[in-house]
């Protein structure tokens, strides 16, 4: 028997999947879900992969479960948007061996572009959903999820949140099981969703939902904790922990399975209390269900609907339930904010600086480079989701072109439109955008920041690095050839540390009346092992403190009083600042 261990929720899901005999797992990295696959891949005898995107990973997992082995797909909340197409039809065809999908939501948007509540996805697709509240539950419920999946012939959603994924707590793992593969058998009426078949399958799903609701009523993990008289709280996930700590011995209905909800259990619980409270993160998902059963729960009128919960805001929402006075706290005002920033020597810095200087209208994307939206680089104009840079750029360019055709138009010209995205994002969902540009006669410029990794999520490989999750060599996509084969004739590669080259090539391509791709290629500085033994220094006396170099926002370049200087320990020797300086006041020093 395995020992008690301190594990993150993500590690616990990975271990549980392994112990449940899961053989196949696929994911695209995304905070806060990334470590699930990284950990799972280290176990003996499993197959694990980075897929180019979440749709691909879910489809591969569906195939693998039909192929007869337990399978897992893990993604961040917005990843399920990408995978929504297979997500809604997978429950029609059901499973052979179990299929579990993990959605890691990010309330507070610690590292995300929105804070959508993916519980609605379970409801919308009629998929059962489990919500763990700590690592032990993440472990236990993952194992339950596989059993449920096979028993009810459906995928199961494990809905996690940042504070479950990235908090550590003690896990006592169970016994590992060996699960034999189910020999493949053809079953096309069940698995080929032509309308005639799908019409037969949908009623099956509806009946299944009824069975699942009965299961949810009896499910041992739905927990009633008796408390003092008067008030009862309905909650789920990590919110339960905050309720526990804020309100002490209040009566609690802690739901571990939140789709389908156990109506009878909720009714029984709520009937016993005069005042019903619902405490949940993000949307009033439970609150609406409790209200629909005829109760008048207190919830989102007081509990924040935006951002994540904690003991303090839960207590503040319902002070009448708390017996503890919150302590006095010292809030220090006027502390300069510390937003994230591109690393010293980051290869994105130079080219983003030049793009901003060229007054490009930048349709951006998701990755470290998005940080260049902040002043002083102030580079981006818009950004929505993975891959949208190229396609939004397409629409922008067409619109500006149409506008330019109007009399008296005074806005910017369409040639200024530039789409910027990273290599991993390009393979995730930029390729179809490039097809759109080539096929529909786009004449703007796409810049691919090829830093040879998925940096933001912790340096994962992707099809462009040609190395797998297990660090094995594999086939590598040739970005230039791919772009050319899609019909883009102007494909050029620049070194983002060479500002003159960047400026020249970008100016040419932005003014060209044809689609172009500029690949800015240099490895992420945090991945570079053998650095040039060089750092730069500001020659005091030559430097006239004009501050131009400060415009690149390098954390190694600091202003102390009037003096500008470079911190030798932080400087990576990229030389970008020296090229920006007009007075030749920044010079390399060999170490």
Binding site for ligand SF4 (CB under 6 A): 342-346, 348, 368, 451, 455, 524-526, 536, 554, 556-557, 566, 571-577
Pick 356 or 557: Cβ nearer ligand SF4: 557
Task: Tell me the sheet residues that pair with 99.
Answer: 71
Which residues have a Cβ under 8 Å from the Cβ of 279 and sit 6 or more positions away? 233, 234, 235, 239, 242, 243, 299, 303, 309, 314, 317
Per partner kind, with CB cut-offs from 5 to 8 A, the member of other proteins, ligand SF4, none near residue 293 is none
Give CA–CA dist 492/507, Å, rounded. 12
In contact, 193 and 201? CB cutoff 8 Å: yes
Angstrom distances, CA of residue 444 to CA of 273, 279, 358: 63, 49, 14
Minimum distance of other proteins from residue 72's CB (angstroms): 20
Contact 94, 190 (CB under 8 A): yes
Q: From the list other proteins, ligand SF4, none, pick the one residue 241 interacts with, judged by a Cβ distance below 5 to 8 Å according to partner type.
A: other proteins
- Report in angstroms how near the CB of residue 526 gets to ligand SF4 at its nearest: 5
Report the residue number, 46 or 449, with the smaller CB distance to ligand SF4: 449
Give the residue with the Cβ less far from other proteins, 76 or 208: 76
Question: CB–CB of 26/115 below 8 Å?
Answer: no
In the bound state with other proteins, the residue whose beta carbon lies nearer, of 170 and 292, is 170
Residue 431 near residue 56 (C-beta atoms within 8 A): no
Distance, C-alpha 469 to centroid of its chain:
18
Q: How far is the CB of 59 from ligand SF4 (least distance, A)?
A: 29
Where would I find the beta strands (DSSP E) of 244-335?
251-255, 257-259, 275-279
CB of 267 to ligand SF4, least distance (A): 51
* CA dist list (Å): 412 to 301, 341, 402, 437, 508: 45, 29, 12, 20, 18
Smaller CB distance to ligand SF4: residue 48 or 581?
Answer: 581
In terms of CB distance, is 319 or 458 closer to other proteins?
Answer: 458
- The least CB distance from residue 191 to other proteins, in Å, is 37
Q: How far apart are CA 323 and CA 321, in angstroms?
A: 7
Nearer to other proteins, 33 or 465 (CB): 33
Q: Strands 557-560, 563-566: parallel, antiparallel or unpaired by DSSP?
A: antiparallel
Give the nearer residue to ligand SF4 in terms of CB position, either 275 or 523: 523
d(CA 327, CA 314): 15
The minimum distance between CB 491 and ligand SF4, in angstroms, equals 22
* Cβ closest to other proteins, residue 16 vs residue 366: 366
Burial of 177 (0-12, 13-18, 19+ CB in 10 A): exposed
Decide which of ligand SF4, other proteins, none touches 373; Cβ closer than 5 to 8 Å per partner kind: none
| Degrees, nearest 5: CA angle 375-376-377 | 90
Minimum CB separation from other proteins for residue 197, in Å?
41
Rounded least distance, CB 369 to other proteins, Å: 11
For the bound state, the minimum distance from the C-beta of residue 31 to other proteins, rounded and expressed in Å, comes to 3
Question: From other proteins, ligand SF4, none, which one binds at residue 548 (CB under 5 to 8 Å depending on kind)?
Answer: none
For residue 525, the partner it binds in ligand SF4, other proteins, none, with Cβ less than 5 to 8 A by kind, is: ligand SF4
Q: Which of ligand SF4, other proteins, none sits in contact with 238, Cβ below 5 to 8 A by type?
A: other proteins
CB of 168 to ligand SF4, least distance (A): 24
State the nearest-atom distance from the C-beta of 423 to ligand SF4, in Å: 10
99 binds, among other proteins, ligand SF4, none (CB under 5 to 8 A by kind): none
**What is the SS3 assignment for 485-507?**
HCCCCEEEEECCCCHHHHHHHHH
Kindly tell me which of 15 and 60 has the beta carbon lying closer to other proteins: 15
Given other proteins, ligand SF4, none, residue 573, with its beta carbon under 5 to 8 Å by kind, binds ligand SF4
User: What residues have CB less than 8 Å from 457, skipping those under 6 apart?
Assistant: 29, 30, 31, 34
- Say if residues 524 and 451 touch (Cβ distance below 8 Å): yes
536 binds, among ligand SF4, other proteins, none (CB under 5 to 8 A by kind): ligand SF4
96 binds, among ligand SF4, other proteins, none (CB under 5 to 8 A by kind): none
Q: What is the DSSP letter of 427?
A: I
Shortest CB 580 distance to ligand SF4, Å: 8
Q: Which is nearer to other proteins, 36 or 66 (CB)?
A: 36
- In the chain, the N- to C-terminal Cα span, in Å, equals 53
Measuring CA to CA, how many Å separate 437 from each of 287, 417, 488?
45, 12, 9
**Choice between 460 and 572, CB closer to ligand SF4:** 572
CA 79 – CA 428 distance, rounded (Å): 11
Work out whether strand 361-363 and strand 275-279 pair parallel, antiparallel, or are unpaired: unpaired
Residue in 576, 418, 416 with CA at minimum distance from that of residue 501: 576
Binding site for other proteins (CB under 8 A): 4, 6, 31-32, 34, 110-111, 134, 163, 166-170, 223-226, 238, 241-242, 244-245, 248-249, 310-312, 315, 323-324, 326-332, 334-343, 368, 371, 374-376, 456-458, 547, 550, 553-555, 557-559
Which of other proteins, ligand SF4, none does residue 335 bind to, with CB < 5 to 8 Å depending on kind? other proteins
Report the partner that residue 547 touches, choosing among ligand SF4, other proteins, none (CB closer than 5 to 8 A by kind). Answer: other proteins
């Amino acid at each position: 028997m395995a020992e008690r261990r301190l594990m993150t929720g993500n590690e616990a899901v990975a271990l549980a999947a392994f112990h449940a005999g899961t053989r196949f797992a696929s994911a695209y990295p995304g905070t806060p879900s990334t470590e699930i696959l990284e950990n799972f891949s280290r176990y003996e005898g499993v197959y694990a992969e980075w897929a180019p995107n979440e749709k691909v990973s879910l489809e591969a997992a569906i195939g693998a479960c039909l192929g007869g082995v337990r399978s897992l797909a893990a993604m961040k909340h917005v990843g399920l948007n990408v995978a929504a197409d297979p997500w809604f039809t997978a429950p029609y065809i059901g499973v052979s061996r179990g299929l579990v999908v993990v959605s890691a939501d990010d309330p507070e948007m610690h590292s995300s572009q929105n804070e959508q509540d993916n519980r609605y996805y379970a409801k919308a697709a009629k998929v059962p959903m489990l919500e763990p509240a700590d690592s032990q539950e993440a472990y236990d419920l993952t194992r339950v999820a596989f059993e449920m999946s096979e028993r009810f012939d459906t995928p199961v959603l494990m809905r996690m949140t940042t504070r479950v994924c990235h908090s550590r707590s003690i896990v006592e793992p169970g016994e590992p099981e060996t699960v034999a593969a189910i020999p493949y058998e053809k079953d096309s009426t069940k698995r080929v969703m032509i309308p005639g078949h799908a019409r037969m399958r949908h009623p099956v799903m509806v009946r299944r939902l009824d069975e699942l609701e009965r299961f949810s009523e009896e499910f041992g993990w739905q927990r009633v904790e008796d408390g003092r008289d008067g008030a009862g709280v309905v909650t789920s996930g990590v919110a339960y922990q905050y309720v526990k700590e804020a309100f002490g011995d209040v009566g609690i209905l802690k739901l571990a399975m939140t789709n389908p909800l156990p109506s009878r259990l909720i009714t029984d619980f709520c009937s016993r209390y005069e005042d019903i409270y619902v405490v949940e993160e993000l949307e009033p998902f439970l609150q609406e269900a409790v209200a629909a059963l005829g109760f008048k729960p207190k919830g989102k009128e007081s509990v924040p609907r935006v951002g994540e919960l904690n003991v303090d805001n839960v207590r503040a929402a319902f002070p009448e339930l708390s017996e503890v006075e919150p302590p006095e706290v010292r809030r220090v005002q006027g502390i300069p904010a510390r937003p994230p920033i591109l690393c010293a020597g980051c290869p994105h810095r130079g080219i983003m600086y030049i793009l901003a200087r060229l007054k490009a209208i930048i349709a951006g994307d998701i990755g470290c480079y998005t940080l260049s939206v902040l002043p002083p680089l102030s580079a981006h104009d818009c950004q929505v989701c993975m891959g949208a840079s190229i396609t939004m750029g397409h629409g922008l360019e067409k619109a500006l072109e149409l506008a330019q055709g109007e009399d008296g138009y005074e806005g910017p010209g369409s040639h200024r439109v530039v789409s910027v995205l990273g290599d991993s994002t390009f393979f995730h969902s930029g390729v179809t955008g490039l097809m759109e540009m080539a096929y529909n006669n786009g004449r703007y410029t796409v810049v691919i920041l090829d830093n040879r990794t998925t940096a933001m999520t912790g340096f994962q490989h992707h099809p462009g690095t040609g190395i797998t999750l297990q660090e094995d060599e594999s086939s590598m996509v040739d970005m230039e050839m791919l772009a050319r084969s899609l019909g883009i004739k102007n494909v050029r590669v620049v070194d983002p540390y060479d500002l003159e080259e960047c400026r020249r090539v970008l100016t040419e391509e932005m003014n060209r009346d044809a689609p172009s791709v500029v690949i800015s290629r240099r490895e992420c500085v945090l991945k570079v092992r053998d650095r040039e033994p060089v750092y730069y220094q500001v020659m005091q006396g030559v430097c006239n403190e004009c501050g131009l170099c400060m415009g690149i926002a390098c954390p190694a370049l600091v202003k102390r009083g009037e003096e500008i200087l470079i911190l030798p320990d932080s400087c990576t020797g990229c030389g970008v600042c020296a090229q920006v300086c007009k007075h030749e006041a920044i010079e390399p020093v060999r170490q």
